[in-house]
Amino acid sequence: MLTEVMTKLEAGDTLDHYRLDAEVARSGMSTLFRATDLGTGRQVALKVPHPEMEADPVLLERFRREEAIGQEIDHPGVVKTFDGEDRSRRYMVIEWVEGRLLRSILNEERKLPVDRAVALTIAICDALDNLHKHGVVHRDLKPENIMVCDGDRIKIIDFGIALKEDARRITQVGLTPALGTPDYISPEQVKGQHGDQRSDVYALGAMLYEMLTGQPPFTGPSPLAVMNERLLTDPAPARELNAEIPPAIEEILFRALARDPRQRYATASDMAWELEHQELVGIESPQHGSVRLGRFALSRRKMVLYAALALVPLALFVVMLVLARR
């Protein structure tokens, strides 16, 4: 049973049968501790909400939803949440993941080799596809929420603002930090819409863009300016920032970052398929529905068309010259 005791917790304290070994992170809603299960010796993470969070029904519902998602999803690329015990207060028990945040890697290396960036993105696509098949939209994908483990295995973490299709809707008012992160939020979320799995695809496209170029697709003097830019313009072509990026990868970025969700990949698995079959990007193929004629392929067609149109006046001139001589 939960009690009303809401004392402040610190590293070294004991919470039920967990010893809090270290504070790992603190947000506006909760504190994350690395902890040890004194019964089994297993290391776990404890996510403890701040007292004011429990007084807010919307924030409390988000916390409950995050816990339920972590218990339902069973995939190696998604962090697991444990259940099945009485607790003296509300907190979440999460598997402890050894690794580094993708953000830490990018801060250190700025941009990644193309092959590594693609491999990480494919791994994230696989985990995302599993989430989406369970009706879960993460809605806050960013390098801070991707843990990279040994062998570049990944874990998607933090489902604090995730949306579950079969769950009751949480009231959403205006644009707040809880609706996504400016560098990765999709245009439809900027407009105040809830977003769907294509919103996660957009965020993943933004992360791949940053992994390859060393910067997010849009920058600006303020978060509002950054969000506004994605409503009005397209990002700079990635190959202008990194000539090592193959044309096919630039096309994949173009599709993932399309402002209109209908022009993006419909699923994360579609994006993964094209990353794995780059030689077919921009080619019509009956073997996979998402392979379309891409922007760079369309450009070639336009060049041929424009060249043909340019010859029309010359052809008319020749015809008129022949007729005049007759």
Q: Which residues are catalytic?
A: 140
- Using the CB atoms, write b or e for 180-192: b if 16+ within 10 Å: bbbbbbbbbbbee
Tokens at 246, concatenated: 């193959």
Q: Contact at 8 Å (CB) between 102 and 146?
A: yes
176 exposure class (CB count in 10 Å sphere: 0-12, 13-18, 19+):
exposed
Interaxial angle between packed helices 268-276 and 247-256, expressed in degrees from 0 to 180 and rounded to the nearest 10: 180
Give the span between the Cα atoms of 97 and 177, in whole angstroms: 25
By residue count, the chain amounts to 326
DSSP-based three-state secondary structure for 110: coil
- For 262, residues 6+ apart whose C-beta sits below 8 A from its C-beta are none
Other residues' Cβ atoms within 10 Å of the Cβ of residue 175: 17
Q: Contact at 8 Å (CB) between 230 and 217?
A: yes
Q: What's the Cα-to-Cα distance from 246 to each of 105, 114, 121, 210, 279, rounded to whole Å?
A: 23, 9, 15, 15, 10
